[in-house]
């Protein structure tokens, strides 16, 4: 059975509204482009107990989980420590992470035209960004070389920890999808087909939805709207799954709607 994909977003700034989350729609987009989808998402503030609880729960499962934020080395960054606590292991300076961090510091010194001083207090502190749970693996960061990390839970879950900055996080996640999980891609094999049902009520369509799911290996979805500027009150009703199964299920769905005398609008294929 293929693993499901999850997303954990860490940061008080999201919960307070100071910043608007951009990770959820982007990760959904990256997965969707590969015929995959998010099964769940969770937002957690900068609280060690809550972060540890969220990570412990994720490690206990079998999902692939991307965790964005909190892996820096400032006092409000707790994700590295919480990952170690959730796994019951110690934190260690990862040798490859240390090498990459030093490489980045040397690059910055060269750009500034100053000698690299490894004993300068701020440089010494930067090595903390490479302190990961024992046994962690590196997640390369093409933006500035400061890596993220991956850990495997006792149930087989794989959690990948990346920075909160989209410019770093998104290419790191994309690389993971295309390298570690390429075998799970379902491009051109997974499809959504839907139709706009004008003026419909979900309760009246539920028996048809249940019948379609019972008769076909697909998922049925309904997206109601009460004030669409073009369609007014309507429901986007559709099915998603393997292309062949979707084709048969959608044919039956349309037949069922027509038998009910439903007023149908445009069809959508994704």
Give the integer Cα–Cα distance in Å for 131 and 98: 8
132 and 218 share a domain?
A: no
178 and 199 share a domain?
A: no
- pLDDT at residue number 242: 87
Contact 240, 200 (CB under 8 A): no
123 and 37 share a domain?
A: yes
pTM over 0.95: no
122 and 230 share a domain?
A: no
176 and 86 share a domain?
A: yes
Of 189, 100, 178, 88, the residue nearest 134 (C-alpha): 88
Contact 90, 184 (CB under 8 A): no
- pLDDT at residue number 53: 98
Give the integer Cα–Cα distance in Å for 231 and 241: 26
Tell which of 184, 219, 253 closes a domain. Answer: 184
- pLDDT at residue number 187: 67
DSSP 3: P
229: CATH: 3.30.70.1120
218 and 264 share a domain?
A: yes
57: CATH: 3.40.980.10
171 and 64 share a domain?
A: yes
226 and 120 share a domain?
A: no
Tell which of 155, 184, 213 closes a domain. Answer: 184
- pLDDT at residue number 57: 97
Q: Which domain holds residue 161?
A: 5-184
Per-residue pLDDT of the chain (270 residues; tens, 9 = 90+): 789 999 999 999 999 999 999 999 999 999 988 989 999 999 999 999 999 999 999 999 999 999 999 999 999 999 999 999 999 999 999 999 999 999 999 999 999 999 999 899 999 999 999 999 999 999 999 999 999 999 999 999 999 999 999 999 999 999 999 999 999 998 667 788 999 999 988 999 999 999 999 999 999 999 999 888 989 999 999 999 888 999 999 999 999 999 999 999 999 888
């Amino acid at each position: 059975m293929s693993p499901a994909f999850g997303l954990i977003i860490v940061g008080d700034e999201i919960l307070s509204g100071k910043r608007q989350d951009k990770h959820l729609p982007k990760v959904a987009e990256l997965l969707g482009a590969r015929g995959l989808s998010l099964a769940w998402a969770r937002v957690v503030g900068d609280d060690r107990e809550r972060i540890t609880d969220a990570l412990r729960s994720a490690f206990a499962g079998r999902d692939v989980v991307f965790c964005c934020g909190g892996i820096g080395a400032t006092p409000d960054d707790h994700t590295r420590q919480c990952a170690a606590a959730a796994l019951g292991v110690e934190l260690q300076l990862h040798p490859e992470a240390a090498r990459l961090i030093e490489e980045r510091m040397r690059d910055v010194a060269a750009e500034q035209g100053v000698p690299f001083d490894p004993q300068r207090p701020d440089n010494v502190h930067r090595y903390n960004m490479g302190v990961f749970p024992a046994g962690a693996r590196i997640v390369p960061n093409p933006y500035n070389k400061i890596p993220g990390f991956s850990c495997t839970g006792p149930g087989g879950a794989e959690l990948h920890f990346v920075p909160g900055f989209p410019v770093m996080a998104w290419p790191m996640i994309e690389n993971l999808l295309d390298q570690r999980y390429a075998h799970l891609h379902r491009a051109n094999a997974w499809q959504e087909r839907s139709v706009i049902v004008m003026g419909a009520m979900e309760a009246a369509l539920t028996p048809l939805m249940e019948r379609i799911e019972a008769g076909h290996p697909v998922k049925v979805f309904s997206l109601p709207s009460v004030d669409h500027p073009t369609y007014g009150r309507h429901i986007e009703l559709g099915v998603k799954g393997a292309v062949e199964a979707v084709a048969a299920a959608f044919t039956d769905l349309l037949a069922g709607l027509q038998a009910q005398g439903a007023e149908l609008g445009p069809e959508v294929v994704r």
